[in-house]
Amino acid sequence: MAESKEAELDQLMVLSRDGSISARQRLFDNMTNLFLAEEERLSEQERAHISDILSKLIQDIELNVRRSLAEKLAVSGKAPAELIKLLANDAIEVARPILLKSRVLLEPDLMELVESRSKEHLLVISNREGLSEAVSDQLIEFGDEDVIESLIRNSDAEVSKEAMAYLVEESKRLDRFQEPLLARHDLPSALAHQMFWWVSAALRRHIIENFEIDQFALDQHISSATREFQEEPSIAEFGETHADKLVAQLASRNELSEMFLVQSLQSKQIRLFIAGLSLKSGLSTQTLSRFLFDKNAEGMAVTCKALDFDRNSFSAVFLLTRRGGMENGNQVPTSPAEVETVMNFYDRLKTEKAEQVLAHWRLDTGYSDAVDQINHKLDTQRVYL
């Protein structure tokens, strides 16, 4: 083995005196093979010397050869750091395996690359396993929407709480962030429920069915909010309108039933319905008005389920406040498929879960602000007024 290594070194010396392109490439190939094959036998000094020569030769070597080297070194834990950095900064065809796999690249190296390299480099880094919070934050700061979406879809990337809250906020205007965010295992339940107000019907159902609310934290929040309410002298009393006063009187006689509320809708007394539902649910009349206009019915479904409305009552509420839209200038009914989807969601939804969500909504003062910021295109033909 010693004689073989000596022969190889002699051959390298001969090639090093030849300045032709082909000789340079052969020298590079041979030194690479020696470096990799003798990984355990070369001394630290020999490895450092070969690494230095490779780093100087690499700029003169064609792309295919550099790419081949990168693929070999990407899985080597003992690859020279300076050579790895050179390859990571190379054209994306060369850099890709290094950026994706090399463990020799450390967090500071990755952060520097994110600041200085192309979008293609950032996209590859965003798919890397085991990304730290610091690197993820850097990608969010320097990357565009494609890079950030790729990062969100990387379930192995760590994302700080602050960055996650920022991404949830961004998902208001960027629909493409919503589905991958809700698919992440580390998305806090509170942020998921905050997203409820601006995502599609399918994702709303996903949130309600898959993100559990911390009952202990909710109880603590309720206790705190109750004390604040009792200490606040400027809370307006319920009962400003005739409808408010009427439902308050009915409630005092225990006559504010779901049947009365459904009959109010059937009589097109929308204000009476909203006032009654507000008193029973604790949600503001403004929020419940939004539910009636909302093209998605999940908010109303959660509210009715939390109040233990039976299936027929909710079905009536849904059908009385929905329209399928317009076609050739004419009103068309809600499609049977839409009705079936909503009713299936209502059937699956547990009353206890709906009660928790409703309590969360009552306490989360930020959700109504979030809804206000969304540019709803209200379709007045979706509800009787």
Quick: pLDDT tens for 23-69.
556 666 666 666 665 555 656 666 666 666 666 666 666 678 788 88
Please provide the DSSP assignment of 340-365 as one string. HHHHHHHHHS-HHHHHHHHHHHHH-H
- Three-state SS for 201-216 is HHHHHHHHHHCCCCHH
pLDDT of residue 35: 61
CB contact at 8 A, 111 and 86 = no
Global pTM reads: 0.73
pLDDT of residue 261: 93
For residue 226, is pLDDT > 60?
Answer: no
- Provide mean pLDDT across the span 189-218: 86
- Comparison of pLDDT for 12 and 31, the residue scoring more: 31
Label residues 296-328 b or e (16+ Cβ within 10 Å = b): bbbbbbbbbbbbebeeebbbbbbebbbbeeeee
The owner of tokens 């010397």 is 49
What average pLDDT does the chain have? 79
Q: Which secondary structure element, helix H or strand E, spans residue 263, and what is its range?
A: helix 258-266
The owner of tokens 């300076």 is 82
Rg, C-alpha atoms of the chain: 32
For residue 164, is pLDDT > 70?
Answer: yes
Which of these ranges, 17-21, 90-94, 306-310, 373-377, has the smallest mean pLDDT? 373-377
